[in-house]
């Protein structure tokens, strides 16, 4: 009887032990599984975090503006490449304060101001260098869901080009007003003198009327050139590209200017090879040749020689040249003569009926054809104006886009 009871007891104990062992093993397996799952979740989280940071960094690096993120302690958390270039940062500044990273007290003061406001705060600062740059910095606090600051973001915007454009525009308006005022006040002066008695002297009256006519012609030329520049710059002109036989084309323009060249005793020699052709807008190309030839006559030597030449050039281009044997162009003026209203000798240009816009128009037109224009000159030995044009239609179907400056 006892033996049976003991046996049953042992069996029960063994069953309980087996059951516990099974439960313990199952729990251990479950624990290991959940640890694995936790590790995987952590890994996924790390990966997602890393990817989010990489995406943010890529986004930041794609920005033209400089961007910096500060953490709640005011230390640099993230910054982009534009900012590194802007301040020439070669070391890794992450973890530094803004003052340690970019030694500019105005930036530290800007970040300090954020502590007392939820608004965007700004400061303008100059960065020395070649060229010096003017930067606008906008800063804002980064707030969490409860509106508590969790750091700051600073965006650095380069204002240099905008300021340059503003000053170019102001200069342009001032120049235009000046150029318009001069002939207008002369016309007004002659008209008043005529009215106050000079009209009764036929000889004086004729002389004054001729002056009025000359100055009104100057005004007309100026306004026409201004309209051309404005149309070119606003992109209103679409090029109508055609094949141009250059020798014949240049000869016709030289013929149109024959009156002036004969008056100055200038010989025009056309050395452009008969087979040379370009792909260009006829009206615009006429303006280029006209302006360059007109200048060569105006500023070249009395009794001198002008040579028109051309040849094939690299990259499916032709290169053309208008040379004179006049006084030439000083080295420091060679780039500047293509700027609007720049003249080496203002009085001489005005006397010759110049507006100061001819070469700027030439540059616009040539560039819109995808070409280049430049001058070579030796003082006292003349000037040679070169320009290139496409030989064949552009395979990309480009019809020409006008640049926006000069």
Distance (Å, rounded) from C-alpha 80 to C-alpha 126? 20
- The window from 87-95, 288-296, 308-316, 386-394 that contacts ligand ADP (CB under 6 A) reads 288-296
Q: Which of 66, 151, 354, 370 binds ligand ADP (CB under 6 A)?
A: 354
Nearer to ligand ADP, 183 or 356 (CB): 356
Q: Residue 139 or 357: which CB sits closer to ligand ADP? A: 357
**Region binding ligand ADP by CB under 6 A among candidate stretches 36-44, 70-78, 90-98, 354-362:** 354-362
Q: State yes or no: residue 349 binds ligand ADP (CB under 6 A).
A: yes
Nearest to ligand ADP of 290, 402 (CB atom): 290
On the 0-12 / 13-18 / 19+ scale of CB atoms within 10 A, 83 is buried
| Contact between 344 and ligand ADP per CB under 6 A | yes
Q: 267-270 and 305-313 as β-strands: parallel, antiparallel, unpaired?
A: parallel
CB of 382 to ligand ADP, least distance (A): 7
Structure tokens at 287: 């303006």
By CB under 6 A, is residue 296 in contact with ligand ADP?
yes
User: Among the candidate windows 128-136, 263-271, 338-346, 365-373, which touches ligand ADP by CB under 6 A?
Assistant: 338-346
> Which range of residues in 16-24, 37-45, 212-220, 336-344 is near ligand ADP by CB under 6 A?
336-344
Q: Which stretch binds ligand ADP (CB under 6 A): 51-59, 162-170, 248-256, 341-349?
A: 341-349
Is 209 or 352 the residue whose CB approaches ligand ADP more closely?
Answer: 352
Q: Minimum Å distance from CB 257 to ligand ADP?
A: 13
- Cα angle for residues 224, 357, 212 (degrees, 5° grid): 55
- The only residue of 82, 319, 355, 367 in contact with ligand ADP, by rule CB under 6 A: 355
| Nearer Cβ to ligand ADP (141/349) | 349
For the window 380-399, what string marks contact with ligand ADP as x by the rule CB under 6 A?
A: ---x----------------
Tell me which of 135, 324, 365, 389 binds ligand ADP, using CB under 6 A. 324
Give every CB contact of residue 389 below 8 A, 6+ residues apart in sequence. 278, 279, 280, 285, 317, 318, 320, 366, 369, 371
Q: Which of residues 166-185 bind ligand ADP (CB under 6 A)?
A: none
Minimum distance of ligand ADP from residue 363's CB (angstroms): 9
Give me the long-range contacts of 260-265 (CB less than 8 A, separation at least 24).
Answer: 260/294, 260/297, 261/297, 261/306, 264/297, 264/300, 264/302, 264/303, 264/304, 265/302, 265/303, 265/304
Contact 368, 402 (CB under 8 A): yes
For residues 359 to 378, the per-residue mask of contacts with ligand ADP, x marking binding by CB under 6 A and - elsewhere, is xx------------------
CA distance 179 to 140: 47
Which window, 164-172, 180-188, 279-287, 353-361, contacts ligand ADP (CB under 6 A)? Answer: 353-361
Structure tokens at 31: 């624990």
102 touches ligand ADP (CB under 6 A): no
Query: Which residues lie across from 390 on neighbouring strands?
Result: 317
| Contact of 390 with 279, CB cutoff 8 Å | yes
Q: Which of 87, 156, 289, 299 binds ligand ADP (CB under 6 A)?
A: 299
Size of the site for ligand ADP (CB under 6 A): 22
Q: Which stretch binds ligand ADP (CB under 6 A): 49-57, 201-209, 241-249, 323-331?
A: 323-331
Q: Is 345 in the site for ligand ADP (CB under 6 A)?
A: yes
Rounded Cα gap, residues 214 and 218, in angstroms: 6
Interface residues with ligand ADP (CB under 6 A) are: 291, 295-296, 299-300, 324, 326, 329, 337, 342-345, 349, 354-360, 383
């Amino acid at each position: 009887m006892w033996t049976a009871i003991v046996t049953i007891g042992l069996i029960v104990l063994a069953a309980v032990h087996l059951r516990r062992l099974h439960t313990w093993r199952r729990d251990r397996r479950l624990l290991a599984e959940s640890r694995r799952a936790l590790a995987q979740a952590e890994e996924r989280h790390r990966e997602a975090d890393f990817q989010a940071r990489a995406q943010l960094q890529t986004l930041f690096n794609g920005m033209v503006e400089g961007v910096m993120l500060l953490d709640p302690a005011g230390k640099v958390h993230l910054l982009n490449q534009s900012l590194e270039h802007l301040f020439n940062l070669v070391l890794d500044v992450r973890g530094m304060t803004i003052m340690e990273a970019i030694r500019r007290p105005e930036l530290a003061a800007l970040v300090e101001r954020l502590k007392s406001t939820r608004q965007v705060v700004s400061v303008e600062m100059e960065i020395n260098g070649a060229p010096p740059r003017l930067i606008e910095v906008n800063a804002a606090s980064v707030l969490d869901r409860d509106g508590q600051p969790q750091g700051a973001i600073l965006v650095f915007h380069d204002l240099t080009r905008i300021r340059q454009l503003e000053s170019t525009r102001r200069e342009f308006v001032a120049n235009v007003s000046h150029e318009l005022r001069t002939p207008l006040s002369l016309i007004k002066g002659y008209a008043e003198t005529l009215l106050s008695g000079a009209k009764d002297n036929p000889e004086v009256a004729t002389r004054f009327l001729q002056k009025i006519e000359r100055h009104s012609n100057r005004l007309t030329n100026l306004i026409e050139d201004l309209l051309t520049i404005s149309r070119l710059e606003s992109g209103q002109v679409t090029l109508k590209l055609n094949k141009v036989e250059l020798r014949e084309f240049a000869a016709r323009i030289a013929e149109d200017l024959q009156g002036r060249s004969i008056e100055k005793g200038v010989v025009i020699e056309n050395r452009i090879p008969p087979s040379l052709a370009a792909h260009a807008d006829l009206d615009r190309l006429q303006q280029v040749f006209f302006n360059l030839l007109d200048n060569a006559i105006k500023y070249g030597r009395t009794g001198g020689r002008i040579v028109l030449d051309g040849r094939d050039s690299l990259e499916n281009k032709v290169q053309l040249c208008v040379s004179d044997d006049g006084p030439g162009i000083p080295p420091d003026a060679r780039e500047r003569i293509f700027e609007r209203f720049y003249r080496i000798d203002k009085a001489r240009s005005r006397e010759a009926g110049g507006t100061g816009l001819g070469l700027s128009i030439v540059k616009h037109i040539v560039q819109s054809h995808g070409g280049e224009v430049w001058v070579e000159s030796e003082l006292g030995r003349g000037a040679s104006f070169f320009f290139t044009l496409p030989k064949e239609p552009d395979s990309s179907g480009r019809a020409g886009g006008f640049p926006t400056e000069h």
